[in-house]
Amino acid sequence: MARRRVSAGVASLLTVAVFAAVSAASCADPQTAVLPVPEREAVTWRPWVIDRVDVLRPAPPPAAGSAQEVAERDAVVALQRTRSAATDSLVRRYDGDPTAFWTAQAIDLLGFYWPLLPDVRVATPARSARLMALLHVAMYDAILATWDAKWAYARLTPSRASTAVRALVTTGEIPSYPSEHAAVAAAASTVLAALLLPGDTLRLRALADEAGLSRVMAGAAYPNDVSAGRALGTAVARRVLALAAIDGSDALWTGRVPDGASFWKPTPVRYVQSPFDPLAGRWRPWVIASGDAYRPPPPPALGSPAFERDLTELRTLASDGAGGRTLAQIDAARYWATEAPTARWELFMQEELAKRRLSTPGAARARAYLSVAMYDAFVACWDAKFFYWLARPVTIDPALRTVFSTPPFPSYPSGHSTVSTAAAQVMGALFPDASDTFTRRAVEASNSRVWAGVHYRFDIEAGDTLGTKVGKAVTVRLRSDGAR
């Protein structure tokens, strides 16, 4: 996938022009203004990792008319005099919903590490889901914390406070202090840099600097708004990473694959000897009580009528005769196998939010709930996979032709089914008018694993049931978090 590179010249220009012009001192008296309330009620919404939305509230911004505010305004004016095609491009890149840019960066990075490099487990399906949940929780709580401070201090944006500053973006009447773009950028870059390979750290930090500074160029924020937002976002990220450090994901598996004809064995073509994340079912979930809270009953026994029925279906699909795979089924199987299932649903959310144009807090909330639901679904699914250790179809019948290589972990239940059904439940609760569309996508995701020959039908049926239970549990929290 193509990966954006930071314009070092633009970043340097912004840094020198703004921060060299402004003192770091702050004044005590906040500027007040009577403003409309675009989703001001977001300050009452329930966060994930901070106790209260005001727990990280920064000190007041410089007072209106103070020497520092005048210096900051003059710095914005001076910066805008350097406006060019490059700076306009920078402003456009980071304008709008700040979580959209960072979600795209995360998907891009995960795609870069997929398929996996030898012994690199940053982008296994379960770990991809974990990363996206941590990222979106961090961005959401950072936004709620900025929203609290914005309405507490009600500082006008530079372009609204002074006719000398041009408004290069539309901000409505949302206060400027602290900058939500800077807060989201700091939270996201800190989480991503900590959880992905270290080679991206400098790039992510540079992008975060650009994101905040672009708002100064746009006339949407003072330098002090950016620095306060950056500090707030970093503080939220540290809380998220502290939870991540104790979620169990660092535990090393020291067990062994059970012996027996019905148990998982390494599958062709790679024959990965150690299955991916056998302890993920013990990781700490966000909403459900534990990975085994909804553990499904055992799969059909090897050789039983139910088992043979579903194995026969796979043999028929793999044949060249009647009942063999159609081109549409093959295409669907490949479509859903291109990347981790969570990435596919994150892209669906991107598309949905682009169409609906939710407020910044509303969009961040939707992303957080989707990612949390998919992560908890993975934890629940992986608990069952490594409790039952069921062999994949190609192990039971080595002559079985699959559309692509079988993933390196046990069969029952299907991860795509569990995750996609949970995702559809939550997206349907968020966007009821499109609920049927999400349900159809989840059904296709489930069926695609049978069409590919990598799952039995009872795998996807158990996954659908498990995903429904996880999705409903997350939806209960969604409907009681204070948002309307």
Per-residue confidence at 357, pLDDT binned at 50, 70, 90?
A: confident
Residues 111, 222, single domain; the answer is: yes
Q: Is it the case that residue 11 has pLDDT exceeding 50?
A: no
Shortest CA distance to 67 belongs to which of 216, 230, 224, 232?
224
Provide the residue range defining the domain that includes 352. Answer: 280-478
| Mean pLDDT (whole number) for 331-359 | 94
284 lies in the same domain as 240: no
Give per-residue pLDDT as tens, 54-113: 999 999 999 999 999 999 999 999 999 999 999 999 999 999 999 999 999 999 888 866
Confidence band (pLDDT; 50, 70, 90) for 114? low
Tell me how far apart the alpha carbons of residues 160 and 163 are, in angstroms, rounded to a whole number. 7
| pLDDT tens, position by position, 275-330 | 999 999 999 999 999 999 999 999 999 999 999 999 999 999 999 989 999 999 99
Note whether residue 273 is domain-resident. Answer: no
What is d(CA 118, CA 138) in angstroms, rounded to the nearest whole number?
A: 30
pLDDT at 197: 66
Is residue 66 located within the same domain as residue 173?
yes
Give percent of the chain above pLDDT 90: 84
Is position 30 within any domain?
no
The predicted structure's pLDDT at residue 270: 85
Residue with tokens 């192990």: 395
**Is residue 390 included in any domain, yes or no?**
yes
Note whether 185 and 297 are same-domain residues: no
Shared domain for 318 and 440, answered yes or no, is: yes
Predicted pLDDT at 113: 62
Name the DSSP class of 282: G
Q: What is the pLDDT of residues 163-207, one digit of tens each?
A: 999 999 999 889 999 999 999 999 999 999 998 866 788 999 999
Residue 13 lies inside a defined structural domain of this protein: no
Same domain, 235 and 289: no
* Single residue among 244, 264, 290 that ends a domain in this structure: 244
Domain assignment present for residue 122? The answer is: yes
Whether residues 52 and 162 share a domain: the answer is: yes
How many whole angstroms separate alpha carbon 395 and alpha carbon 170? Answer: 58
Query: For all residues of the chain together, what is the average pLDDT?
Result: 91
* pLDDT beyond 70 at 132: yes
**pLDDT on residue 109:** 87
80: exposed, middle or buried (C-beta count within 10 Å: 0-12, 13-18, 19+)?
A: buried
Q: Is the pLDDT of residue 254 over 80?
A: yes
Shared domain for 147 and 231, answered yes or no, is: yes
260 domain residue, yes or no: no
Model confidence band, residue 376 (pLDDT cutoffs 50, 70, 90):
very high
End of a domain among 244, 265, 288? 244
Number of folded domains that form the chain: 2
Determine, yes or no, domain membership for 310. yes
Yes or no: say if 448 and 335 are a contact pair by the CB < 8 Å rule: yes
**330 and 235 share one domain:** no
Helix (H, G, I), strand (E, B) or coil at 263: strand
- 315 and 233 share a domain? no
Res. 232: pLDDT tops 50: yes
pLDDT of residue 26: 35
Helices (H) and strands (E) counted in the chain, each on its own, are 17, 0
Do residues 215 and 329 share a domain? no
The pLDDT, as a whole number, for residue 81 is 97
Average pLDDT for 359-382 = 97
The rounded Cα 103 to chain-centroid distance in angstroms is 6
| CB-based contact 473:413 (threshold 8 Å) | no
Q: Which of 187, 219, 244 is the last residue of a domain?
A: 244
Q: In this structure, is residue 431 part of a structural domain? A: yes
Angle at 234 between CA 47 and CA 211, to 5 degrees: 105
In the predicted model, is pLDDT for residue 478 greater than 50? yes
Residues 196 and 289 in one domain: no
Q: Give the CATH number of the domain where residue 290 resides.
A: 1.10.606.20
From the list 12, 57, 64, the residue with the least C-alpha distance to 33 is 64
